[in-house]
């Protein structure tokens, strides 16, 4: 089998997940190179994962690694640059959320990929999480009647890496980090490209990470879609006790609750503790919720397998740069609503350096 060559850009938390996903579940792909800023880290990552080459120069990683696809697991503020280089070099792009920091960047990235005839594949893994996909199929079967409300929550005690606390690198707080999942998933559940009418939001900071970040640590966002259904996104960086990723579906003919962490876990009590319970769980002494196949259950391997298949068979990915852009527009609207206390109508576009400026002013 002729494997599809992938250059992995980034070596943090999510890069590890991508590598493991490819290596266990996507035999059609081969990671031929990794890029990260420091040579020591790059070499260590390559060694650990048996990747043949490593780079500390982003452009070379893209152009000289012999890859057909770049998989971007970089901090938000580097997304635009990486995509522009990749497009220019004629490489397909898999890009982690959020698509970019600004809508202007998003538009340029989409245009560049289109011009270069490369795919811009937006890595929203919730569109592939097997439990959520099961629920989506029930919805499509009509199990819930007319859906009038969707809820999605992602909550934990804060990001794995420092750059996310710096709003100049991330563009915002938990909405940019985790809220983007809810917004993408609402759209996916409502057929992929529903028209969003408005956004209302409330945001809070100065909670668990007071003094460390100006980004919002907790947010509640209500999106209204054409036809009247709403999506309620709850996101937090201030939730102790481990990760929460859960959905609720409300229809006139049914309801559904699904939870990827506590709702899949083995329930454990240990006096001694043990190695690892789940993302951000903290101590493993006492009662814990022990998660299994965490990566698989969040949809990463399925997502990457789909994207590699799209490249190999020249198919249209189910989530693209346009979806990432639509999510970013909702994030802009959410920050604006949090800032003004007003419902913000879509489409919405104001030129700002970063989305959170719409809230912080």
Q: CA 123, CA 306: separation in Å to the nearest integer?
A: 10
Enumerate residues 7-36 that contact its own copies by CB under 8 A. 25, 27
Answer whether 320's CB lies under 8 Å from 120's CB. Answer: yes
Strand runs labelled E in 118-162: 120-123, 147-155
Q: CA 160, CA 158: separation in Å to the nearest integer?
A: 7
Q: CA 4, CA 328: separation in Å to the nearest integer?
A: 30
- In the complex, what is the shortest distance from the CB of residue 117 to its own copies, in angstroms, rounded to a whole number? 29
Enumerate residues 274-293 that contact its own copies by CB under 8 A. 274-275, 282-293
Tell me if 308 contacts its own copies by CB under 8 A.
no
State whether residue 143 is helix, strand or coil.
coil
Name the token pair of 334. Answer: 């959410």
Looking at 77-85, 161-169, 178-186, 198-206, which segment touches its own copies (CB under 8 A)? 198-206
Tell me if 347 contacts its own copies by CB under 8 A.
no
Enumerate residues 68-87 that contact its own copies by CB under 8 A. none
- In the complex, what is the shortest distance from the CB of residue 44 to its own copies, in angstroms, rounded to a whole number? 25
Tell me if 250 contacts its own copies by CB under 8 A.
yes
Integer angstrom CA distances of residue 251 from 139, 151, 222, 263: 9, 12, 17, 21
Beta bridge partners of 33: 7, 53
Nearest one of 76, 251, 263 to 153, comparing CA atoms = 263
Closer residue to its own copies (CB): 138 or 360: 138
Q: Is the peptide bond before 176 cis (omega within 30 degrees of 0)?
A: no
Tell me if 352 contacts its own copies by CB under 8 A.
no
Enumerate residues 171-190 that contact its own copies by CB under 8 A. none
Q: CA 354, CA 167: separation in Å to the nearest integer?
A: 8
For its own copies, the binding residue among 59, 81, 263, 360 (CB under 8 A) is 263
Tell me if 5 contacts its own copies by CB under 8 A.
no
Answer whether 32's CB lies under 8 Å from 90's CB. Answer: no
Name the token pair of 342. Answer: 């007003």
Closer residue to its own copies (CB): 84 or 197: 197
Tell me if 2 contacts its own copies by CB under 8 A.
no
Kindly state the helix (H) or strand (E) to which residue 331 belongs, with its residue range: helix 321-340
Tell me if 218 contacts its own copies by CB under 8 A.
yes
Tell me if 257 contacts its own copies by CB under 8 A.
yes
Looking at 9-17, 110-118, 176-184, 225-233, which segment touches its own copies (CB under 8 A)? 225-233
For its own copies, the binding residue among 169, 268, 312, 322 (CB under 8 A) is 268
Looking at 54-62, 110-118, 142-150, 307-315, which segment touches its own copies (CB under 8 A)? 142-150
Tell me if 241 contacts its own copies by CB under 8 A.
yes
Answer whether 327's CB lies under 8 Å from 99's CB. Answer: yes
Looking at 36-44, 129-137, 311-319, 320-328, which segment touches its own copies (CB under 8 A)? 129-137
Closer residue to its own copies (CB): 286 or 347: 286
């Amino acid at each position: 089998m002729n494997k599809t060559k992938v250059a992995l850009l980034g070596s943090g938390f999510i890069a590890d997940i991508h590598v493991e996903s490819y290596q266990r579940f996507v035999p059609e792909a081969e990671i031929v190179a990794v890029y990260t800023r420091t040579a020591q880290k790059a070499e260590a990552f390559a060694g650990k994962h048996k990747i043949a080459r490593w780079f500390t120069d982003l452009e070379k990683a893209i152009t000289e690694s012999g890859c057909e696809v770049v998989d971007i697991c970089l901090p938000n503020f580097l997304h635009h640059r990486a995509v522009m280089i990749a497009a220019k070099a004629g490489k397909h792009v898999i890009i982690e959320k959020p698509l970019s920091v600004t809508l202007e960047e998003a538009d340029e990235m989409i245009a560049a990929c289109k011009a270069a005839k490369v795919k811009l594949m937006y890595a929203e893994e919730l569109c592939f999480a097997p439990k959520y996909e099961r629920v989506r199929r029930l919805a499509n079967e009509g199990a819930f009647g007319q859906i009038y409300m969707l809820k999605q929550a992602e909550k934990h005690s804060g990001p794995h890496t420092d750059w996310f606390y710096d709003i100049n690198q991330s563009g915002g707080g938990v909405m940019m980090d985790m809220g983007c999942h809810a917004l993408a998933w609402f759209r996916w559940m409502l057929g992929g490209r529903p028209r969003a009418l408005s956004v209302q939001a409330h945001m809070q900071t100065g909670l668990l990470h007071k003094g460390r970040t100006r980004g919002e640590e907790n947010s509640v966002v209500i999106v209204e879609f054409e036809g009247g259904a709403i999506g309620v996104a709850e996101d937090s960086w201030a939730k102790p006790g481990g990760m929460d990723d859960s959905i609720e579906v409300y229809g006139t003919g049914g309801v559904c609750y699904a939870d990827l962490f506590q709702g899949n876990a083995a329930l454990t009590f240990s006096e001694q503790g043990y190695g690892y319970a789940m993302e951000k769980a903290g101590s493993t002494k006492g009662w814990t919720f022990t998660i299994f196949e965490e990566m698989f259950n969040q949809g990463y391997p399925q997502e990457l397998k789909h994207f590699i298949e799209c490249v190999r068979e020249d198919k249209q990915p189910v989530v693209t740069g346009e979806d990432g852009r639509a999510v970013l527009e909702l994030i802009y609207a959410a920050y604006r609503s949090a800032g003004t206390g007003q419902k913000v109508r879509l489409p919405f576009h104001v030129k700002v350096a970063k989305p959170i400026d719409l809230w912080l002013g």
